[in-house]
Amino acid sequence: MSGRRPVSGRESSGTGDGPTARRHTATTRTTRTRQRSATPAARRTTTRTATARTGQYAALVAYLAFLAFPFLWLISTAFKPPRELGSIHPTWIPEAPTLENFRQAFTQQPLPAAAGNSLLAAAVSALIAIVLATPMAYVLARYRNRLSRAATGWVVVSQAFPLVLVIIPLFLILKGLHLVDSRIGLIMVYVVWSLPFALWMLTGYVRAVPPELEEAAAVDGAGRLRTLLSVTAPLLAPGIVATALFAFITAWNEFFFALVLLKSPGKQTLPVVLTHFLGAEGVADLGPLAAAALLATLPSLLLFAVIQRRITGGMLAGAVKS
């Protein structure tokens, strides 16, 4: 990924100011007319002209706007006083920005408790999932046999079946164990729910570690476990951290299982508590709603920003190689 960086400096120059752009447009026209009698060189230059560049930048800006505008609106709404929220002509920038919505959000719903529940469920389930998944991922990556094929197949299938087919029996099982409306029950579900993806990503990371390194250690007389811990594990560490954080984020964001399994208000996680703000819908509640929603997003946004590149690589490796 990083190998391509230097290129950008070179090629993006020359798109700068107006006059240059206009000159390039003129060139395009002549190039186009020439194109029919087409020398390869002429056609090649066409793609580099300013017209193409302008189009590309227009598309990019449109994309940026589409990505950013709901989020900017959320931020704007979170800082608006009730008077501005009730206005018929809403403005992008609050005229009298206030933190009042945040204060109200905390008094309307038990946000700290909900955040604590989310944190607990996400952190514990991510930790357990990683501890369970790493050894298995190692085996799946290194050995190809019936088990690894079955496991890979299960990983794919489990990503695909409708959750309702699993949650009903899980609900009944957990009810039998008296673990409905319990944080332990939710954590158990989250562990199993994040295992496929953890396996998927970790298997990709293990494959990236050359087996020759392990073989060399084995030749030197290290046992399997020793080899794993002293050779493979350190190389895997960044991948393991990325996977754990990803499992954390998915659990932090999860809604369906938490909605079904947790009934007592004191045990509910943040996403479920957020929907309580929607209950009595009115203009006056929009502010606290936006404020709470914004707060609930920050942890996953920050963590995700840290690991995003690794995630993509890991998912890609898992998705296209078996």
Partner 1 sequence: MTLATAPPRSPGAAADRAARTRRAQGAWFLVLPALIPILLLSVGPLLYGIGLAFTDAQSGRTQATRFVGLLNFSDLLHDTLFWDSFRIGLVWAFGVTVPQFFLALGLALLLHLPLRLRWLARALAIIPWAMPEVVVGIMWRLVYHPDAGILNETLRSLGLSGATDGRDWLSGLATALPAVIVVGVWAGMPQTTVTLLAGLQNVPRELHEAASMDGAGAWRRFRTVTWPALRPIALAVTALNFIWNFNSFALVFVLTDGGPGGRTRLPMLFAYEEAFRYGQFGYAATMGLAMVAVVSVLLAVYLAGRLKGDEDR
* Best CA proximity match to 190, nearest among 100, 120, 89: 120
For 231, the token pair is: 């050779």
Q: How many residues does the chain have?
A: 322
If one asks whether residue 278 binds partner 1 (CB under 8 A), the answer comes out as yes
Site string for partner 1, 146-185 (x = CB under 8 A): xx-x-x-xx-xxxxxxxxxxxxxxx-xx------------
Give the nearest distance from C-beta 44 to partner 1 in angstroms. Answer: 6
CA distance readout (Å), 169 to 120, 178, 181: 24, 14, 15
Q: Residue count at the site for partner 1 (CB under 8 A)?
A: 114
If one asks whether residue 131 binds partner 1 (CB under 8 A), the answer comes out as yes
Question: Per CB under 8 A, which of residues 6..35 are in contact with partner 1?
Answer: 7-12, 15
DSSP state of 47: T
Question: Per CB under 8 A, which of residues 254..273 are in contact with partner 1?
Answer: 255-256, 260, 270-271
Nearer to partner 1, 240 or 289 (CB): 289
For 215, the token pair is: 């073989």
Indicate which single residue of 96, 99, 216, 301 sits in contact with partner 1 (rule: CB under 8 A).
301
Q: What is the largest CA-CA distance in the chain?
A: 79
If one asks whether residue 303 binds partner 1 (CB under 8 A), the answer comes out as yes
CA distance readout (Å), 166 to 4, 132, 182, 277: 44, 21, 18, 28
Direct distance between the N- and C-terminal alpha carbons of the chain, in angstroms, rounded to an integer? 22
Question: Which sign, positive or negative, has the C-alpha torsion 203, 206, 211, 217?
Answer: negative
Site string for partner 1, 57-86 (x = CB under 8 A): x-xxx-xx-xxxxxx-xx--x-------xx
Give the nearest distance from C-beta 191 to partner 1 in angstroms. Answer: 6
If one asks whether residue 321 binds partner 1 (CB under 8 A), the answer comes out as yes
Which stretch in 21-29, 55-63, 94-102, 230-238 sits in contact with partner 1 by CB under 8 A? Answer: 55-63
